[in-house]
Every structure is written in structure tokens, then in C-alpha cells.
Structure 1
Amino acid sequence: MTQLPKMRYAADLLQDKVALVTGGGSGMGKATALEMARCGARIVVLGRRIEPIEACANEIRAFGGEALAISGDIRDADRIDEVMREIKSTYGKLDILVNNAGGQFVTPARELNNKGFETVIRNNLIGSWQMTKAAADHFMFEHGGSVVFVTACVKSGLTGFVHTAAARGGVLMMMKTLAAEWAEYGIRLNCVAPGTVKTEGMGHYPISPEQWLKLNRNVMGHMGDVEDIAGTIIFLASPLGKFVTGEEWYIDGGETLHLKHDARDMIDAMMFAKRERGDGKIKS
């Protein structure tokens, strides 16, 4: 059972709202789902594996919230359509979509093959598009809504993750374009770009969180936590953010105030650690 932090928002901030969180079984997605439920939203938790998303839904129910766990792959357009129909059958509407699901692995561009590049593009970019378009088609074109994408800061590139930089950069430009096109329907779209944040996924990378922090030169000198990201997502998705659309918010402890780390330092640290651990490709 997750130790819930102190409430940051009013318990009725999202009253009567229905929110769908992809990748809601762990990390930032789970923290967002839990906190949105504490703010009064009814939560749909989507993920590829039923066990972690059902566990998240059970935690929400345990403190009196309402939640529905649905398994599905955001790369599967037919399954996404089924998910939207199930939400309509259960709740009749969808007000908030949090596109949190994604995945990547560290590989220098010279060693990356086309299949690996395409896999990340399909997951992070095309999957986010399919979720967003389906939510708009089934619900938001009719009554408006808010979409928040969880991305990464890629304005200076993302050393060792060229596939992710391409995908996340695509998501950013997609979000800005849709924010302009869909404003007339009352749909707001924004991105949250986390910096170095303590999550379960950090343990899957070949370097430690402390090494990440050093390489990224966070000016605050410490990592963020998942509640920092969840709190920002809730602000943007809620009525508090009603005049915000088409924006990318860096929640990074000031990493972007510095010039990015030296590319060679990052690649050397990553690849040395991978060789030492005998790891293959690492998913986040």
C-alpha cells in the first residue's frame, strides 16, 4: 500500500470528473491516479499488465475512491477504441486524459537499429496520438476536456536516447498543434517534462540516480519525487489551469538552467555501466 502524501489540493477539486491515466500501475502514473482520486475524480487506470493497475485501483477503492482498471496497449488502435467504449458504458464521459505510458532504452545512436528506433516511436509518439484522438472522438469534441502528456526535456537533445528525443519532440509539436486546432472544442492540451525523479524505473538503468543527478547538473542538488509531477499534472488538468494550453512545463529542479552535460560523458557512463552489469536494452 502506497504511503499517501499530505493533500496538496482541495478534496473536491476534481469532483464529478472522470480521468484516464495510462501507465498508471507504477511511478508517476500511479502517483497521479492516486492523487486525482483523492481530489474527487473517478479514475480509469490503463496498462498492459492487469496486476499493477488493479493494485492501483484497489488502493483507490481502499480510501473510498472510485476506480476502474483496464488492461490495454496504447499501440493497439482497436483496443483503444474498446477501452473508450468501456469508459462510456461505465461512466458516460471522460474529462481528463493523462498520457503517461511510454518506454525507452539507452543506446548510442550509432548502435541503434531501425527496429529499436521504430519501437520507441510507436510507443511514445504514435501511442500518445492514438489515445488522444480516441479520447477526443469519443468524448472531448462534444464536451471539452484536458489532455496532459508526460514527456521529457528534449530541447537540447537527449544523449543516448535519440529514439526518445525524436518521439518526445514529436509529442511536443503534436500537442502544440492540437492545442491550436482543438481550442474551439474546449480541449486544452499541455506537456509536463520531468527531470531526474525518484521512481521504481530508475533502478532499471545502468547508472544510479545519483549519477543521473550529477550528469544532468540539477541546480537544486536533489531529485524530485513522483508527487511533484502528479501535482503539476493535476494543476494543468483541473479548473486551476483553465487558461493554460499549448505549454510545456519543466519540472526538473533547474536542470534546464545549465547547458546540457557533455554527450561523451553520458554515453561513456551509460555504456560502461551496462557492460559491467551485462545488461541488454533497458526499458524505463
Structure 2
Amino acid sequence: MSYRSIFNSSLFADQNIIVTGGGSGIGRCTAHELSALGARVYLIGRKQEKLETVVQEIIEDGGKAEYRVCDIRDETAVQDCVKSIVGECGTVHGLVNNAGGQYPSPMAAINQKGFETVVRTNLVGGFLFAREVYNQSMSKHGGAIVNITADNWGGMPGMAHSGAARAGMDNLTKTAAYEWGCAGVRVNAVAPGWVASSGMDTYEGAFRAVIPKLRDQVPLKRLATEAEVSSVICFLLSEGANFISGDTVRVDGAASQGTGMWPLPKARNSHSYNGFHRAVTPKVLQED
């Protein structure tokens, strides 16, 4: 089997696209789709084994992929990583700033170290990669950047550190789009809601018990697939979005709209799209 993308199979032919956090979840899925559409994908992450696995998957499927082990929170490491990629491929056409992570905690229990670590992962790291890709390549050749944020519009109770960082990335997206537009660089963001991805299996305890019930808070009464997020990312990277910049697209099934004043009835006619042939249902959802 191969990736069943909704886009033309040559959409990103001869393009070099970086995907941070490409070893799992949305990043892994997006890397597969980009590769299926002709791109040479550079996967970035901290765990070499996970990156090697995804690269091997892509190569087995007939695509082109490489990886770089890099801590996106380390400025020098990011500079060297981007320099290595540009030195090898010459031009970076796209960047998917997907790497991130957080842990559930009441705001009153988050210490300074924990707060700063999450902000460095979800905001500072994305800033560093975008800045270096712009300075080392896109300022000369143009390109497209897609930052991955989250559904933080009503705050993020239980994850205040992540919500603050994601809101910062939303604003950073707008600023970068305005400042870098003159170089032919478009910058947008995608804000996924609840997605049935491997990241759900990293949570334990009370938060894990809530995960199977999240669909009840979505008007469509289901979670998103990784492919439904990836397809939006691919569109924003494509020339079809050449006049879209500075926007954040919510992929949350309208969960961020409305309030508890409007009860959500049983959903009808809602069908998921899953073009990712290697997708695996998270264990926490299999247990439900």
C-alpha cells in the first residue's frame, strides 16, 4: 500500500522540506504524505531510533528521506543542523515546525523549570528553526513555513505552560508572515484539536482516562485522524496557498466554538479521512 493523498502525486517534486518532530504522530504522518507527493523530507528529532524507523518506512514506500538528530531548544545545534541540510540540498523549500510536548498539571503545581521547559520546546525551538531556515535559505529563495500550535483559544486548563507557548507561536506566525513576506516567504499555522495519534499514549492516570471521552465534546463526535491534519499542512505548503500567510487554521471539528449552553446531539454523516496507510490507533482508544 501507499499513502492515499488527496493531492497530485508530483505536488512537491524536487522540493526539500524539513519536518521537526518527524519521528512520531502528526510529524511522521506528514513526512509520509510529503514524501508521497515527491518531496525529499528531512526529519528532525532527539531520538535517533524513531527517526531511523520513519526514514526506513518512507524509503520502503519509494520515497526520499533523511534525518538529523537535534535538540530544537539548543540554538547552536539548530544552526548547525540547518547548515548541514542547506549544505547538502542547497535550498529548503518548506518547514513544518511540528516538534513539541507537554505534560498535564494544574497551573498551581507547575514549577518554573517545568514551565520554561515546555515553553522552550513549544515556542523557542520553533522560533529557532524558523529563524535559521529563513536566514540560511528562505531569505534568498522564498518558501513556506507551517507552525503547529494547538486548540488554545479558550485557554488550556490543565496545561497552562503549553497554552502560553502555543499562543506565543500563533502570534509569532503572524509577525514572521509580515516581516518575511517581502522575501517570498509565507508563514502559517495549523491548530489541531484532539487527534488520534501516538502522543495520546504518553499520558497516564486521570488524564488518560478522559481521552476516550473527548469525542463527546466535538460537534462531529469523533477525533481527527493524523491524515486530516497532514492534508491541511500540505495545502499550506503548496502553491495553491500562495496568497495565504499569517493565518492559523483550526483542525478541531468545531470543538473550539460555542459553549456548554448548546447541547451537542448525536452526530450524523460525519466520516473521517485517513489516507495514511501506516496509521495505528492509539492504545488508549483501543481500550475504550
TM above 0.5, yes or no, is yes
Does structure 1 residue 48 correspond to structure 2 residue 70?
no
Distance 2:220 2:212 in 1: 13
SS of residue in 2 equivalent to 1:198: coil
**1:168 aligned residue:** 166
* Pairwise CA distance, 1:61: 1.2
Give the 3-state SS of the residue equivalent to 1:116 in structure 2. Answer: helix
Alignment TM-score, normalising by the size of structure 1: 0.88
What does residue 249 of structure 1 align with? 249
3-state DSSP of counterpart to 1:219: coil
- Contact 1:28–1:226 (CA under 8 A) maintained in structure 2: yes
Q: What 5-or-longer segments of structure 1 have no aligned partner?
A: 262-284
> 1-side partners of 2:94 and 2:67: how far apart?
16
Match runs of 1:52-71 below 5 Å: 52-71=50-69
CA distance in 2: counterparts of 1:4 and 1:25, whole angstroms: 18
- Give the Cα–Cα distance (whole angstroms) in 2 for the partners of residues 223 and 5 of structure 1: 20
The Cα shift of 1:28 comes to 0.2
Aligned to 2:23: 25
Match of 1:211 among 210, 213, 216: 213
Provide, for residues 113-159 of structure 1, a one-character-per-residue CA deviation record: whole Å limited to 9, x for no partner: 11111111111111110000000010000011100011102121011
Instruction: Name the amino acid aligned to 1:53.
Output: L
> How many Å separate the matches in 2 of 1:5 and 1:259?
37
The CA distance in 1 between the partners of 2:69 and 2:102, in whole Å, is 20
Look up the SS of the partner of 1:174 in the other structure.
Answer: helix
Query: Percent of counterpart pairs with the same letter?
Result: 35
- State the distance in 1 between where 2:158 and 2:142 align: 38
**SS state at 2:4 partner:** coil
Using the size of structure 2 for normalisation, the TM-score is 0.86
Distance 1:247 1:7 in 2: 23
Q: Deviations over 1:187-209 (max 9, x none)?
A: 10011000111011112223243
Kept after mapping to 2: 8 A contact 1:45/1:70: yes
Residue by residue, what CA displacement relative to the aligned partner does 1:163-184 show, whole Å, maximum 9, x if unpaired?
0111001001111011111110
RMSD: 1.4
Counterparts of 1:97 and 1:83 in 2: how far apart (Å)? 13
- Compare 221-230 and 55-64 and name the one that shifted more: 55-64
Task: After TM superposition, give the deviation of residue 63 of structure 1 in Å.
Answer: 2.1
Select which of 132, 135, 151 maps to 2:133: 135
Q: Residues of 2 paired with 1:131 and 1:36: CA distance? A: 19
1:1-284 aligned within 5 A: 4-205=2-203, 206-208=207-209, 209-214=211-216, 217-259=217-259
By how many angstroms is 1:226 displaced? 0.3
Gaps of 5+ in 2: 262-288
Task: State whether residues 3 and 32 of structure 2, in contact with CA within 8 Å, keep that contact through their aligned partners in structure 1.
Answer: no
